[in-house]
């Protein structure tokens, strides 16, 4: 690997999308290789999306969910979770904090519900957030990413019309077999893929992501995930290590050893770096799950090609009820603490933050240009 990497041939093959080269780089767990890929990804990031870090204030506004994903701490079947939905006033207070901090963009996230009352509530929030956030600094208001699961295309159209322009829907694994192993029979890979394609048709900037280090997942599966992102024309990537949750069918009895935590962190960093190297102009988030494996996990992701961070705006009193995996960081903090912490983290990487900017994915702009539509 060292010889082929020094020659540049392995990296070139990976850049061109060779499954074998990607799998070889992903499966070679050597610290110098992880660093070399991060450096290459950093060069690619600066060339294609610039060096700024963009914020998406993350508001987890409800943990009600009708789905039962086998890995997720807020799955419908987990009766130990105290359920909440933030009312309009608490949502708007968090939105005001997002504006005050100059984050420029907001991510509204919840469990999956498809009932009309929920859809209408989300639409009303979107309209109000758009209206209240317009200012001289942000003439178009906050950029809004929605993350509320699989919905009908007609519902996606309503969300888009109400003001959301990005949508995050994780495929969790590009392998239909792995997807099936993590979800009940009522959820299918085909339906998730079809939802991603609906989002694209509606006009959203489309985000997806996978879990890294899943039981039974091979380096080839992860290589296929990167190629899946490319094939589906994904604009934004949010992915992180798989971390078990004890109150789930997949996670009960599964404990991460310190050695496995480090291995999974390095694998996640190689995955982020290679995604940047292959996809070039997408936005990639440094996810909180990385910080659950190492206190500096998010900084490491920023040094390996990531360009988005998501400070949590969820009110402190409900944060602990939104734990998708065990050991989620920041659950005993509030929005103010997160702001100071995240600013320090970004400053420590010597990167500039894109305050009051949407920081949209250049990949989306290029996709629109090729389609002959205004971005
Ligand atoms: S991953 Fe999403 S859809 Fe699945 S159980 Fe968790 S919140 Fe619900």
- Residue-wise pLDDT for 284-312, tens only, equals 999 999 999 999 999 999 999 999 999 99
Q: Render 110-148 in DSSP notation, one character per residue.
A: E----SHHHHHHHHHHHHHHHHHH--SS-TT--EEEEE-
- Cβ proximity of 284 and 278 under 8 Å: no
Apex CA 118: angle with CA 116 and CA 243, to 5°? 130
Distance of CA 75 from the midpoint of ligand 1 (Å): 6
Place of tokens 């996230």: 109
Ligand 1 proximal residues by C-beta, below 6 Å: 65, 67, 69, 72, 74-75, 111-112, 149
DSSP 279-344: H-SSEEB--HHHHHH-TTHHHHHHTTT--EE--B-S-HHHHTT--SSTT-TTTT--HHHHHHHHHH
Average pLDDT over residues 242-261: 91
Please tell me the distance from the alpha carbon of residue 34 to that of residue 21, in angstroms, as a whole number.
Answer: 15
Sign for the CA dihedral angle at 159, 160, 163, 167 comes to positive
Tell me what the mean pLDDT of segment 319-331 comes to.
84
Mutate to test the pocket of ligand 1, among 63, 66, 149 (most ligand atoms within 8 A of CB): 149
Q: Which atom of ligand 1 is nearest to the CA of 149?
A: 3
pLDDT of residue 361: 93
Tell me the pTM: 0.95
Mean pLDDT of 248-272: 93
Half-sphere exposure of 208 (CA within 13 A, CB side): 26
Please list, in sequence order, all residues whose beta carbon lies within 8 angstroms of the beta carbon of residue 293, skipping any fewer than 6 positions away.
241, 243, 261, 262, 264, 265, 268
Instruction: Using the mean position of ligand 1's atoms as its centre, give its distance from the Cα of residue 323 in Å.
Output: 11
The rounded distance, in Å, linking the Cα atoms of 222 and 234 is: 16
As a whole number of angstroms, the distance between CA 83 and CA 91 comes to: 16
**Calpha distance 236→361 (Å, rounded):** 7
**Lowest-pLDDT choice from 37-41, 236-240, 311-315, 335-339:** 335-339
Residue of 70, 112, 183 best suited for mutating to test ligand 1, as the one with most atoms within 8 Å of CB: 112
Encode pLDDT of 144-186 as tens digits.
999 999 999 999 999 999 999 999 999 999 999 999 999 999 9
Query: Which DSSP letter does residue 192 get?
Result: H
Phi, psi values for residue 236, rounded to 5°: -140, 140
229: CA distance to ligand 1 center in Å?
21
If you measure from the C-alpha of residue 113 to the centroid of ligand 1, how many angstroms do you get, rounded to a whole number?
Answer: 10
CA of 20 to the centre of ligand 1 (A): 32
User: Is residue 242 within 8 Å of residue 6, measured between CB atoms?
Assistant: no
Q: Would you state the pLDDT for residue 344? A: 80
Percent above pLDDT 70 for the chain: 96
pLDDT confidence tier of residue 247, bands split at 50, 70 and 90:
very high
Kindly state the average pLDDT of the residues 242-268. Answer: 92
DSSP characters for 235-247? -EE--EE----TT
The ligand 1 atom at the shortest distance from the C-alpha of residue 172 is 1
Is there a contact between 287 and 301 (Cβ–Cβ < 8 Å)? yes
Which among 309, 288, 318, 311 is positioned nearest to 90, based on CA atoms? 318
Residue 6 pLDDT level (bands cut at 50, 70, 90): low
Q: What is the mean pLDDT of residues 331-343?
A: 71
112-117 long-range contacts (CB < 8 A, ≥24 apart) are 112/65, 112/66, 112/67, 112/148, 112/149, 112/150, 113/62, 113/64, 113/65, 113/66, 113/148, 113/149, 114/66, 114/149, 114/150, 114/151, 114/152, 114/155
Task: List pLDDT tens digits, range 40-74.
Answer: 999 999 999 999 999 999 999 999 999 999 999 99
pLDDT tens-digit series, residues 197-228? 999 999 999 999 999 999 999 999 999 999 99
The 10 Å Cβ neighbour count of residue 135 is: 11
Read off the pLDDT of residues 71-99 as tens digits, 9 standing for 90 and up. 999 999 999 999 999 999 999 999 999 99
pLDDT at 374 over 60: no
Query: 351-371, pLDDT tens digit by residue?
Result: 999 999 999 999 999 999 998
Q: What is the pLDDT of residue 337?
A: 67
Both tokens assigned to 264: 């999974």
Q: Which atom of ligand 1 is closest in space to residue 72's alpha carbon?
A: 6
Distance from residue 198's CA to the centre of ligand 1 (Å): 19
- Kindly state the tokens that stand for 33: 């290789």
Q: Which residue puts its alpha carbon closest to atom 2 of ligand 1?
A: 111
- Lowest-pLDDT range, 223-227, 315-319, 335-339? 335-339
> How many A from CA of 175 to the centre of ligand 1?
18
Confidence of residue 113 (pLDDT cuts 50, 70, 90): very high
Atom of ligand 1 nearest to the CA of 65: 8
């Amino acid at each position: 690997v060292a010889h082929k990497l020094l020659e540049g041939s392995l990296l070139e093959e990976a850049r061109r999308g060779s499954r074998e080269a990607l799998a070889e780089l992903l499966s070679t767990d050597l610290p110098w290789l992880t660093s070399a890929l991060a450096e290459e990804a950093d060069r690619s990031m600066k060339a294609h999306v610039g060096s700024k870090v963009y914020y998406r204030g993350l508001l987890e506004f409800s943990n009600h969910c009708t789905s039962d994903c086998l890995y997720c701490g807020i799955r419908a079947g987990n009766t130990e979770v105290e359920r909440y939905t933030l009312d309009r006033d608490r949502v708007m207070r968090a939105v005001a904090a997002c504006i005050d901090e100059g984050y420029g963009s907001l991510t509204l996230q919840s469990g999956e519900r498809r009932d009309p009352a929920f859809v209408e509530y989300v639409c009303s929030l979107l309209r109000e957030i758009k209206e209240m956030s317009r200012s001289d600094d942000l003439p178009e208001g906050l950029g809004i990413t929605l993350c509320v699961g699989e919905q009908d295309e007609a519902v996606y159209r309503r969300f888009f019309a109400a003001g959301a322009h990005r949508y995050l829907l994780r495929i969790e694994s590009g392998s239909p077999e792995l997807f099936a192993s993590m979800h009940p029979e009522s959820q299918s890979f085909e339906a998730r893929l079809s939802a991603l394609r609906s989002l694209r048709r509606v006009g959203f900037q489309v985000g997806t992501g996978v879990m890294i280090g899943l039981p039974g997942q091979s380096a080839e599966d992860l290589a296929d995930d990167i190629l899946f992102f490319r094939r589906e024309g994904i604009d934004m990537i949010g992915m992180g290590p798989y971390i078990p949750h004890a109150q789930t069918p997949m996670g009960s009895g599964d404990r991460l050893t310190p050695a496995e935590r480090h291995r999974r962190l390095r694998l996640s960093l190689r995955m982020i770096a290679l995604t940047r190297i292959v996809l070039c102009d997408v936005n990639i988030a440094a996810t909180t799950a990385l910080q659950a494996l190492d206190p500096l996990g998010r900084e490491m992701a920023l040094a390996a090609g990531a360009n988005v961070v998501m400070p949590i705006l969820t009110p402190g009193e409900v944060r602990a009820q939104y734990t998708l995996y065990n050991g989620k960081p920041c659950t005993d903090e509030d929005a103010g603490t997160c702001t100071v912490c995240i600013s320090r983290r970004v400053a420590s990487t010597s990167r500039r933050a894109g305050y009051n900017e949407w920081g949209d994915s250049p990949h989306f702009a290029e996709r629109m240009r090729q389609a002959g539509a205004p971005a």
